[in-house]
Amino acid sequence: MKDKFFTYIQNLQDTITSKLEEVDGKARFKEDVWKRPEGGGGRTRVIENGNVFEKGGVNISGVHGELPKSMQTYFDVADADFFACGLSLVLHPKNPMVPTVHANWRYFEIYNKQGELVDQWFGGGQDLTPYYLFEEDAVHFHSICKKACDKHNPEFYSKYKKRCDDYFWNTHRNEARGIGGLFFDYCKASEKMKMNDWYNFVSEVGDNFLSSYIPIVTKRKDAEFTKLQREWQEIRRGRYVEFNLVHDKGTLFGLKTNGRIESILMSLPPHVQWRYDHQPSSGSEEAKLLEVLKHPKEWV
């Protein structure tokens, strides 16, 4: 399974980066192939200063070795080895009318000291972070998520949509990072879902990523915007940074397993503001967004 999934994310990375370069029309991804001293490595691809994308990354990695003590405690295992692979992407567009997007699809294995597989699971998801709320964009993104889920289980969308709303919640701000999408983790074999069934589900979601996001980008990328709207985008990006550094499990896992820092922090936007107690005007488009972030909606 680990070879099968790693091959899948290698191909998916090629598909996604090719399409994003086409949409941007100017910038190209810079690739870094790196190795992790403890075992494994990855392929980082970053795009910057494009016509559409101010900064973005589409990264894959496959790492293995001894599970660090801190993570042994987290997973409640002793003296274990691990293998983890996944694709992680974040795109920060220039235009504040175009939402930031994040996605991740991953696979994990744990072994005892005899090298025997003792646990394995899939995880992942995708979520949208707009700076200005266009409800038809939110409906489109969630509709594609639901369609992918419904092919495998009619209960998946509502279940994983709620988990996404719960996970991407900035507890210290009491607001969501964005308008959600899907979040699933610890997807393990059961009577209903074998590991190959989970593979089919996760790859279904991955294969539908571009159709969930690119139509939104195409529709909004040439929209006019003001200096004040750009400043609002940078202020909201600050909340994005706060979530990633304070709460995000993937970031924390990378930092605790001696991951490649440049790849881990690729998710951070290039221009951000933190204004003291900034509050948008009542009834404004900015205030409309905040209302939805404080009270997640059912979009489909």
As a whole-number percent, the residues of the chain with pLDDT over 70 amount to 100
Residue 72: which domain range?
Answer: 2-294
Name the residue among 104, 73, 41 with its Cα closest to residue 259. 41
Does residue 226 fall inside a structural domain? yes
Name the residue among 131, 165, 177, 168 with its Cα closest to residue 289. 131
* Contact yes or no for 120/107 (Cβ under 8 A): yes
Q: Catalogue the active-site residues.
A: 102
Residue 144 has, within 13 A of its CA and on its CB side, a CA count of 24
Does residue 130 fall inside a structural domain? yes
Task: Please state the rounded mean pLDDT for residues 246-268.
Answer: 82
Does residue 299 fall inside a structural domain? no
CATH number of the domain enclosing 16: 3.40.1500.10
Condensed to tens digits (0 to 9), the pLDDT of residues 275-286 reads 999 999 999 999
Does residue 124 fall inside a structural domain? yes
pLDDT at 105 over 80: yes
What does DSSP assign to residue 286? H
Q: How confident is the model at residue 262 (pLDDT cuts 50, 70, 90)?
A: confident
Task: Please state the rounded mean pLDDT for residues 151-172.
Answer: 97
Q: What pTM was computed for the model?
A: 0.94
Total of domains in the chain: 1
Name the residue among 277, 268, 278 with its Cα closest to residue 240. 268
Does residue 110 fall inside a structural domain? yes
